[in-house]
Chains A and B, each alone.
Chain A
């Protein structure tokens, strides 16, 4: 494909961003072949590192003239392949657009470029007693632009919501190269909720070049509890009791036995007895006068499910130690096997106990090593399957077990991704949740912005579109001039 392009193509791109920000040698492109999903890597024709909206717009226009696709990328921490280069594409890497443009303390908002790192934003505004609430596990590296594309969640989603609840306005380069602004500083406007539709669209509607985000006051009081259970099912039941109690914790996370063993054997050791069957981490925040009553409610819910030990963090150091059991999990699991397949699915929370048993049974049947770390309060499972991709048979078993896990989650009313996105990873599983009639409006939304699919092709929705049978009395969609 590359050879068919006029030789001047790369030169024109280099002219826009400067030669040092246009990578096109194979060795340079290697690092950008995939994101956090390491299967099916592809080399881009070039990787461009623009610094301004205007540069992004000009890159898109040059690509269009040459019939080349373009794929936006933030930090490349995504787990579903949303930032994978595709055939005949250039990668537009937004990490140099990393300025915090404005902070409006009084109205609690900030205007940022897409390459601003999630955790850096919170650090920069901490002196104002404000923070940016969405906290994906990759927050030390991932960018706001990537968070917008994926509608990223995180442990504190339970109380604070996902990225979509924190984005007020966006500037975006449309797939035709024009620049448009959506939304306003209020998070509510007349007309269509474009911002709501763009967040989570995985970079298929355009390239976000600026985001206006909501900032949240740092809560006055925080309490972190660590409850130890004999088994993971009892911990899930305790979560159900908490939900029913009326207390809304900031986070409720479960770590299972295999993960505890891995964490305790690693540099992330949190001092949890390895005899524990599971731990439940509960974080409460808000007005300090309310927290003691909430702690009592959590305590009662956990003890009713057989929990013998509940620890309450006495200080920041201890809080960090508790969270190490959760946040160190993925790093620690590197000890268990060379590769880790991090699954992401959601079920109604009442089904958590049974679905965990099912997931365990599926992995046993396929002789796979499973560890669970998950956002229990949201019903968001992350079954982590340890494997070695050099073993073809094991890789095949991982894939088949993954499919069965998704099917089991959908069967109880769940969905195939809660926060990692569809990308290329789950694109072909969309039919588990949606039939052709459900997918048709999604194609029409995509086509409104990106009619020829040049912007991040092959992501989020299946590449084969089935014609929805409309009533014979109605005229077909194709007859409509666009």
Chain B
């Protein structure tokens, strides 16, 4: 298996906030996975659910985790209907592999997950998006149906393989983005998009006053990613734009970009490799040497102001102006500064997730934020889905 894992047991330690997990299960069938969960439930032993292990640090300190449970050996695209544009993949399948299989038939997987090792299960559990969310939407939008194993070790499915469905509660919405706190995701039906005829990536150098112009450009039909990169100590901004669609549409929008950013008057755009947005996206997910990495999402109209606040705090930013998403990284001297940034994002209609934090700050700061009035419902739902509290205990919002 990849990552040095063997089906069955593994002894490679996994370091996560608050714990070092020394033992892992890597079941090769749903039945085996059900047994692992049922046994852990019977003995009230906490499990760390892992896929590609790319986002494990986005969590509050673990509580009572005794073993890892990897979905990595549940791998492969087991159904693909190129005529229909839907496929079913098992949770441990790397996202890159699903992209490759889809694109060989003229389809595109609308999941913009960072990192080559990321799996489908991890993508859905963390509902992670990238700059292309402008066109792709949320992870939930691509998920037609899910297979899960619940807190007592019973497998179930929800949704289906069709593109329109109101048969019962929309359970998949709850599992998406629940960070493995309700169930182990074992597979999914996904909706694909037709691959665009043309795809172009451009790099443009602009000055910081162009933020609102860039945000407006995100409304153009073929602009599907626009990333604003700025270091805290720099007045120089690099904007990377990805255009995709028909030849006419892309040419038209490229003209609009040139007009708006006044590229004829001294500015320039340069075509770069198609993968440029992938590189920027993946860089956001890297831990690197920065003690702090945060992701804020706010109303589009408030995005520029909050971006400025991050820069003033000494952080470097990578922003999706069209989405109101700000990734900021760097160093801060006290947790109070993060509390202030979170409050500012709240005032701007949004929220902040701390994707990387000094461990000493983790007890004070909830990585996800405060659940507000829904705290009671959160813990009630958790108790019903995971009665013994074995799935990722302590790690999700409100430390459930």
Sorting the interface of chain A by its residue count into under 10, 10 to 19, 20 to 34 or 35 or more gives 35 or more
CA distance A201 to B173 in the complex (A): 12
A106, A287, A474, most chain B CB atoms within 10 A: A474
**B84 & A349 in contact (Cβ 8 Å cutoff):** yes
Quick one: which of A151, A184, A191, A445 contacts B166, CB cutoff 8 A?
Answer: A151
B34 within 8 A of A: yes
A residues in contact with B84, CB < 8 Å: 243, 348-350
Which residues of the other chain, B, contact A422 by a CB distance below 8 angstroms? 166-168
The answer to whether A107 and B374 have CB atoms under 8 Å apart is no
Shortest CB-to-CB span from B165 to chain A, Å, is 5
Q: Are A480 and B384 in contact (CB under 8 A)?
A: yes
Question: Known: A287-B221, A470-B38. Is A415-B252 also a contact (CB below 8 A)?
Answer: no
Q: Are A186 and B324 in contact (CB under 8 A)?
A: yes
Q: Measured between C-beta atoms, what is the minimum distance from A6 to chain B in Å?
A: 31
Q: Give the A-B pair count, Cβ closer than 8 A.
A: 265
Q: Select B152's contact among A193, A350, A417, A474, beta carbons within 8 Å.
A: A474
Select the residue from A187, A196, A441 with max chain B CB neighbours within 10 A: A441
- Are B35 and A471 touching (Cβ within 8 A)? yes
The residues in A between 101 and 119 inclusive whose CB is less than 8 angstroms from any CB of B are 106-107
Q: Is the CB of A482 within 8 A of B166?
A: no
Q: Nearest chain-A residue to B169 (Cβ)?
A: A442
- Tell me if B368 and A197 are in contact (CB < 8 A): no
Q: Which residues of chain A have C-beta atoms less than 8 A from B101's C-beta?
A: none
Contact indicator B166/A421 (Cβ below 8 Å): yes
Residues of B within 8 A of A474 (CB): 38, 41-42, 151-153, 388
Question: A414 near B171 (CB under 8 angstroms)?
Answer: no
B178 within 8 A of A: yes
A1 within 8 A of B: no
B161 in contact with A348 (CB, 8 Å) = yes
A188 touches B297 (CB 8 A): yes
Q: Provided the pairs A164-B170, A441-B171, A460-B169 are in contact, do residues A191 and B157 lie with their beta carbons within 8 angstroms? A: no
A326 at the interface (CB under 8 A from B): no
Contact A477 B384 (CB under 8 A): yes
CB-based contact A193/B176 at 8 Å:
yes
User: Are A475 and B387 within 8 A (Cβ)?
Assistant: yes
A11 contacts chain B at the CB level, 8 A cutoff? no
Which candidate, B134-142, B265-273, B329-337, is the interface stretch facing chain A?
A: B134-142
Q: A243-B83, A350-B84, A440-B154 are in contact. Are A196 and B162 (CB under 8 A)?
A: no
Query: Is A473 in contact with B374, judged by CB distance below 8 angstroms?
Result: no
Q: Which residues of B contact A360 (CB under 8 A)?
A: none
Docked-complex contact A448 and B34, CB < 8 angstroms: no
A190-B154 contact in complex given A290-B245, A350-B81, A442-B171, C-beta closer than 8 Å = no
Q: Is the CB of A449 within 8 A of B377?
A: yes
Interfacial residues of chain A within 417-473, with CB under 8 A of chain B in the complex: 417-422, 426, 430, 433-434, 437-442, 444-449, 460-461, 468-471, 473
Contact between chains at A193 and B140 (CB < 8 Å): yes
The docked-state distance in angstroms from the alpha carbon of A248 to that of B166 is: 22
Contacts of A413 in B (CB 8 A): 160-162
A-B contact pairs, 16 of them (CB 8 A): A150-B166, A162-B166, A244-B82, A294-B246, A348-B162, A414-B160, A415-B162, A418-B165, A430-B167, A433-B168, A438-B158, A442-B169, A445-B169, A445-B171, A461-B169, A471-B38
Interface of B toward A, CB cutoff 8 Å: 34-35, 38-39, 41-43, 81-86, 106, 127, 137-138, 140-141, 148, 150-158, 160-171, 173-174, 176-178, 182-183, 193-195, 197, 219, 221-222, 245-249, 252-253, 297-301, 324, 349-351, 353, 368-369, 371, 373-374, 377-378, 380-381, 383-385, 387-388, 397-398
